[in-house]
């Protein structure tokens, strides 16, 4: 058994690797071809951001069992292909929480006291004290968008400044927020009533461009906004206009859509924007902790077969007949989450009917949870951590079995409860393809191998043709279609498998033209 470290690692991390008794080679700066020539000798590979683990590298790693990324992001690893090859990919998601929180506070303080501009002025030989009159944090309202691990650490520290804290996080239990002295409210309320806002959400389809010009116009004229989370949550073109035209007073950003910022980037023209080059995790302590954590986790896996912080599903003893039900479970979870909307989830019930009732279906239930939670917490959710994430959000999870399945030999039913409301979806597998076979009391059948357009409406002639015409006029092809009807209520639902994304403006156009009660684009397949 051998380990390769292909990027710089802290001394403490290297000591842990050496002490394990597993031979370790440290060879930073390898090209892809150089790495491919030697990777076949190693059982484990530890990297940072410098090494790119491509399909070519993974194919060359004939003995490779694990890739450990010292850090959070795994954009430099072909995770789907590693999973296909049975290679575990792990990272260190919690090592930089404190550093990211402290950097956010540093950005807030820099803005409030105008430190970067005052510093630059002094270094020009100026002494213009009145030009750099700042504001106190005492008594100000801090809006936290995403009151998770980092947002929670900020709340603990902001409390010492005697700030009033409000937060937006549709998935956080109110009692958890209350323990942090954060009053949960709507995004609009946070935007309208905060003196300072700090962002701590993952970048997801529903959070991309979450803050754009309409949101900037809701903010106070003297508002400040800080982003040490992910580039793309704030629309950068609208940020530029909002700062340039003094819609808001100032901003501090550590992350951007395209990094590094290119010479001539218009954001760098602004005199009310603080920028740093993605330094949220750049502290001595965080860098050492990621090295120590990944060293310990890789050793535990190679030596003891214990898995921690896995990005992809672990290799395990799975009944081969259940393998097709893992993608079914995840897609049912994705589907029901998007149909449920942004409402907090209180309970997830998974029922296995037919022959599945005789099997160990734990992995399928975890796949359902991954589907529900991946658009809440981001792609870091996996087979290893999904249960603890659900527990931390006070989501009750139940699994039950029912040997009766009158229509299909096997069926998986997922029911999500949010407050007084509940929604259920049903699915099965045949011809190795996951299929959606029902929503609530509607029955139908459609393959779950493409994104979908969902609509609920009063059953009447001509609806399907109207929708097809609008999609066709916008060059969106329909690959599959099904309809389910409720004869008691005279309501129907329609699902269309589409080859391209249906944008929000087009969904509104379809709803306006047809009078649909509910229309949604379901982003089902990556």
pLDDT digits (tens, 9 = 90+) for 21-62: 999 999 999 999 999 999 999 999 999 888 999 999 999 999
311, part of any domain: no
Q: Tell me the CATH number at 89.
A: 3.40.50.720
Q: pLDDT tier at 313 (50, 70, 90 boundaries)?
A: low
Dihedral sign for Cα atoms in the order 54, 374, 314, 301 = positive
Are residues 417 and 436 both part of a single domain? yes
Are residues 435 and 329 both part of a single domain? yes
More confident residue, 364 or 315: 364
Whole-number pLDDT of residue 356:
93
Calculated CA dihedral for residues 213, 218, 224, 230, nearest 10 degrees = -50
Whole-number pLDDT of residue 478:
93
Whole-number pLDDT of residue 350:
97
312, part of any domain: no
Whole-number pLDDT of residue 490:
87
Q: Is the pLDDT of residue 317 over 70?
A: no
Q: Is the pLDDT of residue 315 over 50?
A: no
Are residues 45 and 131 both part of a single domain? no
241, part of any domain: yes
Are residues 90 and 102 both part of a single domain? no
> What total of structural domains would you count in the chain?
4
Q: Is the pLDDT of residue 184 over 60?
A: yes
Whole-number pLDDT of residue 480:
92
Are residues 227 and 340 both part of a single domain? no
Q: Report CA-CA distances (Å) from 481 to 199, 503, 514.
A: 39, 19, 17
Q: Which one of 444, 462, 494 terminates a domain?
A: 444
Are residues 158 and 262 both part of a single domain? yes
187, part of any domain: yes
Are residues 329 and 424 both part of a single domain? yes
Report helix angle 504-514 to 463-473, nearest 10: 150
Give the sheet arrangement for strand 273-275, strand by strand: 182-184, 164-168, 141-145, 196-199, 224-227, 250-253, 273-275
Q: Is the pLDDT of residue 116 over 70?
A: yes
Q: Is the pLDDT of residue 387 over 90?
A: no
Mean of pLDDT values over 286-314: 86
Q: Tell me the CATH number at 473.
A: 3.30.70.260
Dihedral sign for Cα atoms in the order 177, 182, 184, 186 = negative
Whole-number pLDDT of residue 300:
92
Answer for the pair 98, 285: CB distance below 8 angstroms, yes or no.
yes
Q: Which one of 396, 418, 444 terminates a domain?
A: 444
Euclidean distance between CA atoms 200 and 229, whole angstroms: 5
Are residues 126 and 54 both part of a single domain? no
Euclidean distance between CA atoms 253 and 231, whole angstroms: 9
Are residues 393 and 410 both part of a single domain? yes
Q: Residues 76-89: pLDDT tens digits?
A: 899 888 876 778 89
Mean pLDDT of the chain: 92
- Record the pTM: 0.69
Mean of pLDDT values over 107-113: 97
User: Percentages helix, strand, coil for the chain, rounded to the nearest 5?
Assistant: 35, 25, 40
Whole-number pLDDT of residue 384:
62
* Beta-ladder partners of 5: 26, 46
Whole-number pLDDT of residue 316:
46
Q: Residues 162-177: pLDDT tens digits?
A: 999 999 998 888 888 9
Tokens of 515: 């009078």
Q: Which residue range(s) make up the domain with 223?
A: 97-275
Mean of pLDDT values over 218-245: 96
Whole-number pLDDT of residue 332:
97
Percent of the residues in the chain that have a pLDDT greater than 70, as a whole number: 98
Are residues 409 and 489 both part of a single domain? no
126, part of any domain: yes
Which of 333-347, 369-383, 442-456 is predicted least confidently?
A: 369-383
Whole-number pLDDT of residue 63:
94
Are residues 159 and 267 both part of a single domain? yes
410, part of any domain: yes
310, part of any domain: no
Whole-number pLDDT of residue 379:
65
331, part of any domain: yes
Are residues 9 and 35 both part of a single domain? yes
Mean of pLDDT values over 386-401: 88
**Residues involved in catalysis:** 230, 259, 278
Q: Report CA-CA distances (Å) from 399 to 357, 372, 414, 523.
A: 10, 15, 10, 26
Whole-number pLDDT of residue 127:
96
Whole-number pLDDT of residue 322:
87
Q: pLDDT tier at 140 (50, 70, 90 boundaries)?
A: very high
């Amino acid at each position: 058994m051998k380990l390769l470290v292909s990027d710089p690692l802290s001394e403490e991390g290297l000591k842990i690797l050496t002490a394990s008794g597993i031979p370790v080679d440290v060879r930073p700066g390898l090209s892809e071809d150089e790495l491919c020539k030697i990777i076949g000798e190693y059982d484990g590979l530890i990297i940072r951001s410098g090494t790119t683990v491509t399909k070519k590298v993974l194919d060359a790693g004939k003995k490779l069992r694990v890739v450990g990324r010292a850090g959070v992001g795994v954009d430099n690893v072909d995770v789907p292909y590693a999973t296909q090859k049975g290679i575990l990919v792990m990272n260190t998601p919690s090592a930089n929480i404190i550093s990211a929180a402290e950097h956010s506070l540093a950005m807030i303080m820099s803005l409030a006291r105008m430190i970067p501009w005052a510093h630059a002025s002094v270094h020009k030989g100026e002494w213009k004290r009145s030009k750099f009159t700042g504001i106190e944090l005492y008594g100000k309202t801090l809006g936290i968008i995403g009151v998770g691990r980092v947002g929670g650490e900020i709340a603990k520290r902001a409390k010492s400044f005697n700030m009033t804290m409000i937060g937006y996080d549709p998935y956080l239990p109110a009692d958890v927020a209350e323990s942090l002295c954060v009053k949960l409210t709507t995004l609009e309320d946070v935007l309208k009533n905060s003196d300072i806002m700090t962002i701590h959400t993952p970048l997801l389809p529903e959070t991309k461009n979450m803050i754009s010009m309409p949101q900037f116009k809701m903010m106070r004229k003297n508002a400040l906004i800080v982003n040490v989370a992910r580039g793309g949550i704030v629309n950068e073109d609208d940020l530029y206009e909002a700062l340039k035209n003094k819609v808001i007073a100032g901003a501090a950003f550590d992350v951007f859509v395209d990094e590094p910022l290119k010479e001539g980037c218009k954001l760098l023209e602004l005199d009310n924007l603080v920028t740093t080059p993605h330094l949220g995790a750049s502290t001595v302590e965080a860098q050492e902790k990621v090295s120590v954590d990944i060293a310990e986790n890789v050793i535990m896996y190679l030596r003891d077969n214990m898995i921690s912080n896995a990005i992809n599903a672990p290799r395990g003893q799975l009944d081969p007949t259940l393998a097709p039900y893992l993608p079914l479970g995840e897609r049912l979870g994705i589907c029901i989450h998007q149909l449920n909307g942004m409402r907090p989830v209180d309970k997830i019930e998974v029922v296995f009917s037919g022959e599945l009732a005789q099997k160990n279906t734990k992995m399928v239930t975890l796949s359902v949870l991954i589907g529900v939670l991946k658009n809440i917490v981001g792609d870091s959710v996996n087979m290893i951590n999904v249960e603890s994430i659900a527990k931390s959000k006070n989501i009750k999870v139940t699994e039950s079995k029912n040997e009766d399945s009158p229509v299909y030999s096997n069926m998986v039913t997922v029911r999500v409860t949010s407050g007084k409301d509940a929604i259920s979806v049903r699915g099965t597998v045949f011809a190795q393809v996951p299929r959606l076979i029902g929503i609530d009391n509607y029955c139908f059948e459609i393959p779950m191998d493409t994104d979908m357009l969902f609509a609920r409406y009063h059953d009447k002639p001509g609806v399907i043709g109207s929708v097809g015409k609008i999609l066709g006029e916008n060059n969106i092809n329909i690959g599959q279609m099904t309809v389910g009807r409720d004869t008691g209520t005279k309501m129907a639902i329609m699902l269309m498998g589409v080859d391209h994304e249906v944008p929000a403006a087009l969904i509104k156009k379809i709803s306006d033209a047809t009078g649909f009660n509910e229309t949604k684009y379901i982003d089902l397949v990556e």
